Amino acid sequence: MKRQIIILLLAIVMLYSVAGCGRDIQQESSQTETNIDITNNESDEDIQSQVRTITDLGGNEVEIPAVTEIRHVVVITPPVTSVLLEVIPDTDMIAGLSPKAFVYSNEDVMEKLFPNYKDVETTFVGDDFSINTEALLALDPDIILYYGEIQKKGLENIGLPIINFFSPKLTDPKDVTVAWDNLLRQIFEVDDSESLEKEWEYFDTKVEEILAGQTEEPKRALWMFSNVSGSLVVAGSSSFDAYAESFFEKAGIVNVATGIEGTTEVDMEQIYEWSPDIIFVFHNVSAQRYLNNSIEGQDWSLLEAWKNQAIYDIPQTAYSWGAPCADSPLMPSWLISKAYPKLYSEEEFRTELVRYYERLHNVTLTEADMDSILSLRNIQ
């Protein structure tokens, strides 16, 4: 009997011990879950607190992720891409581009600036900037860069940060490129130790020093914007689609089409009347075809520019220098090397070109690279 009582007491003790351990385990498990929930909530709050608000060039306030959370960038606007390349921490972050992004680029230079540029997805946006929303979202973008209202169509209700790089107030290529560069540096939190603003300051001073020695009559130039199927379009005073006037003024050159606002179609008779000393070719028909006088229905041999063989292709690198781009600070001094070679030679310009690429792009240009940039393009 005594032995049975002892066994019963031991059983009761063990039962309470097991129940106690169960309660301890349950409490410990509950506490762990609570701690996990708190940790998760704190992480969400931390990420939310890192969201930044910026003002884009269209005046819109845009909430963007913390810079560490930006992994995929989609770029709708072609010229801005060239500036993005010298700011973005890693070009592999570029998930999508406009198919027009590198239409006016130099393949040799692009291989150094952005080796995998041909592999980036472009089919989500049409040549008219229409957006395939499903294809765009498949790129998983964290931010989208666009330019103006036309490119904004299809993006308004996409639920992602969209950043406008167009300002109707900016028509000078210096102001435009500095604004693009500054906004990109703000987005990616990159310092301005090597910025386009500083490059413009350097070249503005250099150009001023060069032109101080200018004593002859200013050269009169024509900027051929395009020449397609007999339609001659020239660039007049500056607007968002033509920067000839600004570039010419910086280089001490007179724009013969200054009375025209933006880009306008003209005929050969008007060009004969203007009689430019120099012609700069933006795109489409190459300068060599003008020099060969082989464009059907157009006789360029009557012009002094043709007689002096002073017809030049505007250089192309990541984009054409005829539009705002990462290399715009170089444009006025290049123009001077063509208009006033006695003041500033091509060899002097080549030296500056190499230094510029080393400073801004961390790229070394070879003589062959510079030849491909500065020589006449293949006949088109």
Q: What are phi and psi of 73, to 5 degrees?
A: -120, 135
Residue-wise pLDDT for 295-310, tens only, equals 999 999 999 999 999 9
The residues, ordered by sequence, that sit 6+ positions from 287 with a Cβ below 8 Å of its Cβ are 279, 281, 311, 312, 313, 376, 377
The residues, ordered by sequence, that sit 6+ positions from 74 with a Cβ below 8 Å of its Cβ are 94, 95, 96, 97, 124, 136, 139, 141, 143, 144, 145
pLDDT band at residue 19 using 50, 70 and 90 as cut-offs: very low
pLDDT band at residue 48 using 50, 70 and 90 as cut-offs: low
Q: What is the CATH number of domain 197-374?
A: 3.40.50.1980
Sheet holding 143-146, edge to edge: 94-97, 73-75, 143-146, 162-164
Between 339 and 261, where is the model more confident? Answer: 339
| pLDDT(365) > 50 | yes
CA dist 373 → 85, 110, 345, 367, 379 (Å) = 18, 11, 16, 10, 15
| pLDDT(2) > 50 | no
CA dist 368 → 7, 354, 364, 372 (Å) = 98, 12, 11, 6
Cα–Cα distance for residue pair 75/63, rounded to 1 Å: 17
Residue-wise pLDDT for 210-268, tens only, equals 999 999 999 999 999 999 999 999 999 877 667 999 999 999 999 999 998 889 999 99
Residue ranges of the domains in the chain?
52-192, 197-374
- When the pLDDT of each residue in the chain is averaged and rounded to a whole number, the result is 88
- Do the two domains 52-192 and 197-374 of this chain adopt the same fold? yes
Three-state SS at 283: coil
Residue-wise pLDDT for 68-110, tens only, equals 999 999 999 999 999 999 999 999 999 999 999 999 999 999 9
- CATH homologous superfamily of 52-192 equals Nitrogenase molybdenum iron protein domain (3.40.50.1980)
Predicted confidence at residue 284, as pLDDT, reads: 85
Are 378 and 313 contacting, i.e. CB atoms less than 8 angstroms apart? no
pTM of this prediction? 0.85
**Type of residue at 154:** G
pLDDT band at residue 46 using 50, 70 and 90 as cut-offs: low
The percentage of the chain sitting over the pLDDT mark of 70, rounded to a whole number, equals 86
Predicted confidence at residue 154, as pLDDT, reads: 85
pLDDT band at residue 45 using 50, 70 and 90 as cut-offs: low
| pLDDT(290) > 90 | yes
CA dist 236 → 131, 233, 244, 258 (Å) = 32, 10, 7, 5
Pairing verdict, β 73-75 and 143-146: parallel
